[in-house]
Structure 1
Amino acid sequence: MVDYSLYLVTGRDLLPQGKDYVGSLEEAIKGGATIVQVREKGVDTLEFLEIALQSKALCEKYKVPLIINDRIDIALAVQADGVHLGQTDMPVHIARNLLPPGTLVGVSCNNIKHIKKAVEEGADYVGIGAVWGTTTKQLTSPTIGVRGVGTLLEALEGTAVKAVAIGGIKSTNLLRTLHGTVSSSGRCLDGIAVVSDVFASSDPLSAAKDLRDIFTSFSTHISKQAAQLASWQASPKGTLPRYTPDSIKDGVVNIMRTIRDSNPLVHQITNVVVTNQSANATLALGASPIMATAPEEMYDLSRVPGALLINFGTVKDKEGMILAGKFANDVKKPVVFDPVGVGATQFRRKTAAELLDIWQASVIKGNAGELAALADSKEVQARGVDSVGSGFADPAAFVKALAKKERCIVVLTSPTDWVSDGDTVVRLDNGDKMLGNITGSGCMVGTCIAVFCAGSSLLCDDETAIASKLVKGDMFLGAIGGVMALTIAAELAVARKDVLGSGTFLPALIDELSHLTPEAVREKAKVQVL
C-alpha cells in the first residue's frame, strides 16, 4: 500500500545557500516524506539520469517510492516505482505498455474532464491543482482553489484512484487546504504535494515533519469524527443524541456567562450602514467591539482573543478582509462571514468566492437569497439585500447541504431560523416581525453570532483537542446562541409599553440584549433538533 501523505516534489533550484540536493532530500525523507517525485525541467538527459540515480539510492535506503516526472525513459533506466504524467504527456495506457507491471502512474488534473479520463485510463493516482498560486512552475491552467478540489474528489467516488493536492501548499495553509478539500460525501485527500516549503528550507527535516504532523493530525481527527457520526447514526433514535433542546440551552447559557466574565474583543469589518448599532449590540452582550479595516492592523488584532466578523454589505476593504480572515485562521479564531447582498451583482459573487477560497469561515450567515447565491441555487432569487419569493421548499435540507459543502456552520435567517453543521439541523422559532422594520437587523444577527462564537472559543482550552481543527470551540452552539439572543431580545422589546414602533424598538432591543438572562433564554427559547 503506497502512502501518499507527504508527496515530495524535488526542486534543486530552490535550495538555499549551503544546502545540497542529496543532503536535503535525505533530511526530508527522515522528516516524513512518504513518496518522492523527481522533477527536472530544462536539463539534459544525462544530468536528469544522474539526479534520478542519486534519488533512487536514497529512496531505496529508506523504502520510499520514487516517481519520475514526465520521462518514461528515465523511469525505466533507474527502475523507478512510478511516473507522473501531465495532460500533454504520453497517455496512461501507452505508458503502461512501456513500463513494468505494477509501476505507479499518476496524472495531473485540473478539472472534472481530466479526472474522469484519468479514471477511465487506469491511473493509480491523480495530482489535483493548482490549489493555490505557485512560483515553482509556470501554470498552464487556472488555479482551482481550495473549495474547487472537493468537487473533483466527488468524481473519484467509488474508485480506487488516490488523490494528491498540489500547488502552493505550505505549512501555513495546509490545515486550511485539508479542511476545505473534502467532498460533500466526506471523501478526503490521500496526500499533499509540496516543493518549496521543504526544498527552500534551511531545515528540510523539520519542514517535512511539520507538514506530516499536520496531515496526520487532521486525518486522525476526520477518522474519529466519521466513527462518532456513524455510531450516532446507527444508534436507535434518541439513544445517543448529539444535541437536545436542553443541552443546546445549557450550552448557550454557559457561553453567555463566559462572554460577560471575559469581555472578548469582537473585530468587525462591516458595512457603514450598521456600524453603530452593531457596536452597541456587541457591548450590550458583554463583549468589546472594534471596527478596524486597515490591512496593516489585521495581524495584531488577530492575536487578541475573540472573534472576527466579516460583513461585506458595502463591499469595501477587500484587502483587509483577506488578511483578517487569513490571520484569524492561523490562530484558530472564529470567523463569521455575512455575505450581505451577495446575489445582487457579479462583483459580489466573485468577491465572496475569492474570500472563501483564501480563508475558512467558521459560520456563514445569510438570508435565503444570499445563501442561494452562494450555493448557486435558482430556488430563491435576491433583490438587492433582500430575498424574493416564499423561500426554500426544504430549508432544513438546504442548510445541511450547504454546511457540508462549505465545511462550516450555516445559518439561514428568516421568520424561522435554521442552523446546521452539516449533520444536525436546528430550527429556531423566536423573533418578531418588528425586526424586519429596522435597518440592519440581519447584520446584528451576524454580530451576535460573532460574540457568541468568541465566547465559545474561550471555553476551549485543550490545545491537543483542537490541533487538527481550524477553530477553537463549538461554533454550532455559538451560532445558535447568537440567533437566540437577538430573537428573544426582540420578543422582550416588543412587549415593552414604551415601544410604539420601529423608532422606539431599536433602542429597546439594545436594552433587552444587555438585560438578557440565562433564565429568559431557558424559558423562551423555541428550539427543535431535527
Structure 2
Amino acid sequence: MAIDYSLYLVTGRTQIPEGMDYLYSLEEALTGGVTVVQIREKETETNEFLEIALASKQLCDKFNVPLLINDRIDIALAVGAHGVHLGQTDMPIEVARKLLPEGSIIGISVNSVLEARDAVKRGADYIGVGAVYGTKTKALTNPLVGVTGVGPILDVLVDTNVKAVAIGGIKESNLLRVLHGSTSVLGRTLDGVAVVSDIMASEDPQTKSKALRQILDSYKLDIRPYAFSDTITAENLLDSAVDLMNALLEQNPLVHQITNNVVATQSANITLALGASPLMATAPAEAADIAKIASACLINIGTLTPETREGMLRSGFECNKLRKPVVLDPVGVGASGFRQQTVHDLIELWQPSVIKGNAGELAAMVGSCEVLSKGVDSVGSGFRDPVTFVRNMARRQRCVIVLTGETDYISDGEVVVALANGDPLLGMITGSGCITGSCIAAYCGAATNGSKALVSPTTLVGAVTGVLALTVAAEVAARRKDVQGRGTFLPALIDKLSLLREETVRNAAKIKVYGPKASFDDEE
C-alpha cells in the first residue's frame, strides 16, 4: 500500500503521562493527524507485546493508518501489520522479505551514507535517518547525524523509490528547521519525520499532533519557494529591487541586530540611512519579545562571547517561530573552533533565510579547501566557479547565499545573480561586510513583510537589493570631491545611502543573471 510517512509516530508507553491510558493517547494522536504508527516495545514480554499490537492494529485500521512493528517479525505476522522496522543488527532485509507477506513494508535505521547505500541495495522501502538530535527515549550507539548531516544521506536516494524519515529528538520546536535543513544538494527532501516523546509524553496528544501536522503542511509552501526563478532577468530583478527600496521607505522596518561591536554604531547608522530602524540587543531574555516586533534579524558572530552566543541561538529560534527572516553573517568562522562550533549550533537549531560571507568564510562553512581565510579575510583568488558554489550551497542550506567579493554572487539555489558594483574604498573600511549584512536584513524584512513562508520568493530580491544599494552608494560616495580616503569615505557613504534614488540605481546597476544550470564560464 502507498504510505504517507509525513507524521510517523513511534510509540513509547513509558513516556505517557501518569494516569493516561496508552490506547487513549494513541487514538488522540491518530485523530490529530498521525499518518503511520510504529509499535516499539523493547522490554515487553511476547504475550503483552502481542496484546498491545492487536489493540493498536484495531485503532489504526479505524483511521486507515498503516501499522509497523519494530524488530519483531513474529508479532507483525500475528497481528497482520503492514510491515516492520529493522535496526542495523536485526534480521537482514532479504530474510525478512521472505518471511513477510508480499507487499509488506520494510524500513531500516541508517546513520551514514554507507548504511543508506546498503539499505537501497538490499531493497528497503524506507530508511529512518538519525539520530538527528539527542534523545532520552533510546540509548544512542552511533554519533548524531545532525540536521545538516541528513542531506548527504538523502543524496543516495535520488532516482530510487526509497522513502526517508528523520528520527531522533524531533519535536514541535525544531520541526521546521529539520524540514528545511534536511535537504540534499540534488533536491531530495524528507518524506516525513518520526516523533516519539513530543506526542507520547503530551498531556494533549491530539493538539500536539495537530500542531506538528500544521507545521508539516505549511512547509509544503516552502518546498519550492523560488518557482519564479526561471523567469528572472536582470531587467525585472532591477525593477523589483527599485520597488523594494521604495517599500522599505514606506514601511520603516525594525531590524534586530546582534552584530560585531566594533561596527555596531556604523551598522545602526547605515540601517537608518536606508530608511529602516535598528535595534541593537544581545540579551537572550529579550529575544522572544523583540522577535514579535522586529521585521528581520541579523546575527553576526564578529565579536562572539558566550552570552551573545546564547542570544544568537534564542533570537534565530524565536524569529523562525514567527517566520521572520534571519540573516546569518559567519564572520571569521574559520578562525577558531569556538566560532565553528557556534555556527554549527546556530544552523542546527534554526533556519537562516540568508547566509552572507566572503569566500573564506563560506568555504569554511562547507569544509572546502579551495579558499582559505586569515582571520576575517579571504586568502587567494577565490572560487574557480563561484556560480556553481553559491548555487549548491543555497540548495544544501535551503536559503539564499550571498558570496561577497569584487563581484558579489547571490543565489536562491536556482538562479545566481552576479553584481559587479562597488568601489575599492568599501573594502578599506572596518566592517564593510558587517554593514552589508545590515542592508540585507533591512531589505529582507521589508521584502517578506506579511509572508508566511520561512524563505519566501522575495528573500532573493531582498538580498540583491541590500547588496546593490550599498555598492552603488559606495561608487557615488567615492566620487564625491571631499572624499580623500577611507576616513572621509564612510560619512559620505552614509550620506549617499540616505539620498539614493531610483534613477541612480538604474543607471549604475551591473547585474548578470545565470540560469539554473549555468556555470561561471557560461555566457547567458
CA contact (8 A) 1:426 1:527 kept: yes
Match of 1:454 in 2: 445
Distance change in 2, residues 1:362/1:225 (3 Å) = closer
CA contact (8 A) 1:416 1:430 kept: yes
Task: Please tell me the residue identity of whatever aligns with 2:23.
Answer: V
Pairing 1:361–2:367 present: no
The correspondence for 2:500, drawn from 516, 527, 530, is: 516
Deviations 1:224-256 (A, max 9, x none): 669x57xx8xxxxxxxx5222232222222222
Report the 3-state secondary structure (helix = DSSP H, G, I; strand = E; otherwise coil) of the residue aligned with 1:303.
helix
Q: CA deviation at 1:345?
A: 2.6
TM-score, L = length of structure 1: 0.92
CA contact (8 A) 2:225 2:456 kept: no
CA distance in 2, matches of 1:343, 1:328: 26
Match of 1:174 in 2: 175
CA contact (8 A) 1:456 1:473 kept: no
1:52-451 matches, within 5 Å, as 52-219=53-220, 222=223, 228=227, 242-316=231-305, 317-451=308-442
CA distance in 2, matches of 1:73, 1:50: 13
Task: Please tell me the residue identity of whatever aligns with 1:411.
Answer: V
Match of 1:235 in 2: none
Q: CA deviation at 1:444?
A: 1.0
CA distance in 1, matches of 2:287, 2:221: 32
Deviations 1:250-306 (A, max 9, x none): 222222222222221111111221111111111111111122111111111111132
Deviations 1:114-152 (A, max 9, x none): 211212222111111112222222222222121211111
Pairing 1:525–2:509 present: yes
Deviates more, 1:23-32 or 1:307-316: 23-32
CA distance in 1, matches of 2:456, 2:252: 17
Unmatched 5+ stretches in structure 1: 233-240
Match of 1:493 in 2: 477
Q: CA deviation at 1:68?
A: 0.9
CA contact (8 A) 1:329 1:471 kept: no
CA contact (8 A) 1:332 1:472 kept: no
Distance change in 2, residues 1:220/1:403 (3 Å) = closer
Deviations 1:35-82 (A, max 9, x none): 111111322222211111111121223322111112222222222221
CA distance in 2, matches of 1:178, 1:211: 12
Pairing 1:34–2:35 present: yes
Q: CA deviation at 1:340?
A: 0.9
Report the 3-state secondary structure (helix = DSSP H, G, I; strand = E; otherwise coil) of the residue aligned with 2:401.
strand
CA distance in 2, matches of 1:95, 1:473: 46
Deviates more, 1:64-73 or 1:89-98: 89-98
CA contact (8 A) 1:176 1:470 kept: no
CA distance in 2, matches of 1:402, 1:140: 30
Pairing 1:507–2:507 present: no
CA distance in 2, matches of 1:280, 1:259: 16
Report the 3-state secondary structure (helix = DSSP H, G, I; strand = E; otherwise coil) of the residue aligned with 1:396.
helix
CA contact (8 A) 2:392 2:413 kept: yes
Task: Please tell me the residue identity of whatever aligns with 1:248.
Answer: L
CA distance in 2, matches of 1:118, 1:156: 10
Deviations 1:323-349 (A, max 9, x none): 111111111111111111112233322
CA distance in 1, matches of 2:221, 2:349: 24
Task: Please tell me the residue identity of whatever aligns with 1:446.
Answer: G
Q: CA deviation at 1:492?
A: 1.1
CA distance in 2, matches of 1:360, 1:133: 19
Distance change in 2, residues 1:384/1:488 (3 Å) = same
Deviations 1:448-474 (A, max 9, x none): 11111111122xx36xxx3xx324561
Deviations 1:336-384 (A, max 9, x none): 1111111223332222122111111111111111111112222111111
CA distance in 2, matches of 1:435, 1:323: 32
CA distance in 2, matches of 1:337, 1:220: 22
TM-score, L = length of structure 2: 0.93
Identity of aligned residues (%): 57
Q: CA deviation at 1:196?
A: 2.1
CA contact (8 A) 1:404 1:421 kept: yes
Deviates more, 1:347-356 or 1:448-457: 347-356
Report the 3-state secondary structure (helix = DSSP H, G, I; strand = E; otherwise coil) of the residue aligned with 2:410.
strand
CA contact (8 A) 2:116 2:153 kept: yes
Unmatched 5+ stretches in structure 2: 515-524
Deviations 1:423-451 (A, max 9, x none): 11111111100112111111111111111
Task: Please tell me the residue identity of whatever aligns with 1:527.
Answer: I
Deviations 1:384-436 (A, max 9, x none): 11111111112112111111111111111111111111111111111100112
Match of 1:19 in 2: 20
CA distance in 1, matches of 2:408, 2:332: 18
Alignment length (residue pairs): 511
CA distance in 2, matches of 1:61, 1:360: 37
CA contact (8 A) 1:337 1:361 kept: yes
CA distance in 1, matches of 2:259, 2:22: 49
Report the 3-state secondary structure (helix = DSSP H, G, I; strand = E; otherwise coil) of the residue aligned with 1:130.
coil
CA contact (8 A) 1:410 1:421 kept: yes
